[in-house]
Amino acid sequence: MMLNPVSRLPEKAQTLVARRIGELPCYQCDIAASNSVETVVEMLKKNLELPGVLLRQDGKFVGALSRLKIFEWLGRPYGVELFYKKPISNLYANLNVPDHIYPSDTYINIAVQRALNRPSEITYEPIIISFGKDDLRLLDINVLLLAQSAQLANANRIIEKQIEIGRVISSSLELPKVLALILEQMDSVIPYSRAAILLYRSGKMEFAASRGYPQDVDMEEARIMVNNNKVFNDIVVSKKASRVKDAALHQDWQHIPNTPPTRSWLGLPLVQDKDVLGMLSISRLTVSPFTSEEMDISAIFAGQASVALSNASLYEKVQSFNRELEDRVKERTRELQQAYAKLKLLDKNKSDFIKISSHEIKTPITVISGYMQMLALDNALEERHRELINNTNTGIERLKEIVNTMLDVARLDTKEMELEFKEVELEALITEIVAEFSQSMSERKIAFSIEEIKGLPTCKGDADALRKAFQHLIINAIKYTPDSGRITISGRLTGKDRGGKVIRPSMQITVTDSGIGIDPKDHELIFDKFYQTGKIMLHSSGKTKFKGGGTGLGLAVARGIVEAHGGQIWVESSGQDETTCPGSSFHVILPASSKLTARI
Ligand code: ADP
């Protein structure tokens, strides 16, 4: 008796490459073992797709014979004579081929491994698949190998898609673009009719990207349907994927109006750190349920959509933080500008005050000074009165100097100081100033030396103004150096400025003292008008006395004058200490006269 062979093809609408051997085309080809070899050969000739036959005796499986082996045996000398008319079981007994029965749910790659591990003479024999009790089918080994290579090709394809998506996710933060790409790439791995990525915001789903929906679909309507769909909501609550074999069988399935109805459906939650960000919805318009493998693969795409969504939300957070920051910076800048304008006004008021008050003081000083000179001419004056007049005159002179300094500051501030540029010999100028203070220095036992100034070129400048500038530096050096200290003035030619930048040939004059020094935090501030370090009350009075009182204007005048000459002034000192006296060095750079430029 011969059975009609039945082929077993994969389940309907198989969309992905098979993963288990039961999903591959295989054949139920049982025949009674009593059939002659000839009958079997005829049958095989008629059914070319059959890889062989499964022999049964009294309905029970006794062994399998492949097409390959049957024809190979018959091709041998005496093969036909010996077996052709005899029962096929005879041939089977002679061939002694071990049967390989694999359960239908065996993974294809495992089956391939096992099959190829068989002895070489039977490596390419078909495999018997068992679909349960007594349901055995033959699978051509070539079909198995092809299935495996299809599987590998598919895996490669998925990896390529993932890489492509990964590249876009990391290179672009344009969310719609990334989501659209995810849907597009998914289509080539998991065929679908339409798909959407929905965003879950304040308890509602919104379409973030969609593919395959009719052009004229009302997305607002779709949004409402989605939100009323129980299956969709269940996914948000359970955070688990869900599939619907046939939505037509679901009474409460919400269909989108004017859109072909969904039949098979797969929904996956988009989760990030336990939060549901949204959902990936995949629909087929025919009944072709999504397989578990398809679920696994779409989970990868869902994972990427989650990453894209959370990247975008982080990006949005950073952007809004930046916007906030920008607003704050703008506000602060506005405040600063207002404060700056206010300060500028205050500064102007201060300059105006200095200017007006010093002018006003100047007149009575001149009057007092005139009367004092008239009094001094009186020969009848007693010695003690003359002494009083002399002391008053000294005070008046000091007062004049202070007022003049105040006027200088005001003029420098308002750029009203008139400078008359001529060739100035710095050596002569400095020597003159030093001579002026030599008595004060010797009284205070301050050693003084001038080094390397001789022979320096002249500079173009206003001699009176430069004299004032150096006077302030030298007075300060005396004032802030304790008795028995040392002051040195040195000079050199230089082609570099304070910061080491190349400049036109210039002179650098340095006034160094062994005084109390200046705290680095005050190095810039001391050049501001009225800035004084330490406690003003502790100052003693007198122009050249140790820590003698001052107006806090000397350095402001010196800087104004030096800068008006296109020069620079700064101080170097390791710190202020009245016990160790680290000293200070004030540097002044003044451009050398252009006549001498060629020499340098
Ligand atoms: P002042 O009239 O107070 O001397 P200046 O503008 O000349 O005003 O100097 C500002 C401040 O800088 C001084 O009060 C002093 O604290 C500090 N200073 C200036 N020159 C020296 C120096 N050679 N050694 C130490 N401190 C100095």
Instruction: Let me know if 446 is exposed, middle or buried by CB neighbors in 10 A (0-12, 13-18, 19+).
Output: buried
Where in the sequence of the chain do the CATH 3.30.565.10 domains occur?
422-599
**CA gyration radius, the chain:** 52
Higher pLDDT, 314 or 573: 573
Q: Which residues contact 497 (CB under 8 A, 6 or more apart)?
A: 503, 506, 568, 589
Instruction: Let me know if 502 is exposed, middle or buried by CB neighbors in 10 A (0-12, 13-18, 19+).
Output: exposed
- What pTM was computed for the model? 0.52
pLDDT per residue over 60-78, tens digit each? 999 999 998 999 888 888 8
Q: Is the pLDDT of residue 151 over 90?
A: no
At 134 the pLDDT is 85
Identify the three-state secondary structure at position 499: coil
Q: Which of 40-54, 211-225, 344-358 has the highest mean pLDDT?
A: 40-54
At 380 the pLDDT is 83
Q: Where are the alpha helices (DSSP H) in 271-382?
A: 292-376
For 396, how many CA atoms within 13 A lie in the half-sphere containing its CB?
18
**Euclidean distance between CA atoms 30 and 433, whole angstroms:** 128
Where in the sequence of the chain do the CATH 3.30.450.40 domains occur?
155-316
Give exposure, 307-340, as e/b (b: 16+ Cβ within 10 Å).
bbbbbbeeeeeeeeeeeeeeeeeeeeeeeeeeee
Q: Is the CB of 518 under 6 A from ligand 1?
A: yes
> Confidence band (pLDDT; 50, 70, 90) for 18?
confident
pLDDT per residue over 508-526, tens digit each? 999 999 999 999 999 999 9
Closest CA to 461 of 556, 562, 569: 562
**Euclidean distance between CA atoms 69 and 98, whole angstroms:** 12
**Euclidean distance between CA atoms 168 and 516, whole angstroms:** 66
Q: How is residue 256 annotated by DSSP?
A: P
> Confidence band (pLDDT; 50, 70, 90) for 16?
low
Higher pLDDT, 308 or 563: 563
Q: What percent of the chain has pLDDT over 70?
A: 93
Range in 192-196, 273-277, 500-504 with the lowest mean pLDDT? 273-277
Q: Which residues contact 344 (CB under 8 A, 6 or more apart)?
A: none
pLDDT per residue over 552-582, tens digit each? 899 999 999 999 999 999 999 999 999 999 9
**Euclidean distance between CA atoms 159 and 189, whole angstroms:** 10
At 9 the pLDDT is 55
Q: Is the CB of 36 under 6 A from ligand 1?
A: no
Where in the sequence of the chain do the CATH 3.10.580.10 domains occur?
4-149
Q: For 273-283, what is the mean pLDDT?
A: 89
* CATH class of the domain defined by 155-316: alpha beta
Higher pLDDT, 346 or 598: 346
Just give the CATH number of 4-149.
Answer: 3.10.580.10
Just give the CATH number of 422-599.
Answer: 3.30.565.10
At 59 the pLDDT is 86
CA dihedral 280, 283, 289, 295 (to 10 degrees): -20
At 7 the pLDDT is 60
Higher pLDDT, 293 or 544: 293
At 1 the pLDDT is 46
At 600 the pLDDT is 36
Mutate to test the pocket of ligand 1, among 444, 480, 516 (most ligand atoms within 8 A of CB): 480
Give residue for tokens 């919400």. Answer: 254
Q: Round the average pLDDT of the chain to a whole number and report it.
A: 86
Q: Is the CB of 480 under 6 A from ligand 1?
A: yes
**Euclidean distance between CA atoms 60 and 106, whole angstroms:** 23
Q: How far is the CA of 404 from the centre of ligand 1 (A)?
A: 18
Q: Where are the alpha helices (DSSP H) in 123-213?
A: 141-171, 175-187
Do residues 569 and 586 touch, judged by C-beta distance below 8 A? Answer: yes
Mutate to test the pocket of ligand 1, among 532, 551, 553, 569 (most ligand atoms within 8 A of CB): 532
